[in-house]
Amino acid sequence: METRKIKTPLTEEIIRSLHAGDMVLLSGEIYTARDVAHRRLYESLLKGEKLPIDLTQAVIFYAAPTPRPPKKVIGSIGPTTSYRMDSFTPKLIEAGLRAMIGKGNRSPEVVEAIKTNNAVYFGAIGGIAALMSQCVKKVEMVAYEDLGPEAIRKLTVKDFPLLVVNDFQGNDLYLSTQNNWRI
Q: Which of 30, 32, 33, 38 is catalytic?
A: 38
Q: Which residues contact 98 (CB under 8 A, 6 or more apart)?
A: 10, 12, 15, 55, 56, 58, 59, 117, 118, 119, 120
CA distances 19 to 14, 40, 112, Å, are: 10, 31, 16
* First and final C-alpha spacing in the chain: 25
User: Sign of torsion, CA 152 138 7 61?
Assistant: negative
- Residue 144 contacts residue 53 (beta carbons within 8 Å): no
- Residue 163 contacts residue 22 (beta carbons within 8 Å): yes
Work out the number of other CB atoms within 10 angstroms of the CB of residue 23. Answer: 12
Look up 38 and say whether it is catalytic: yes
Residues with catalytic annotation?
A: 38
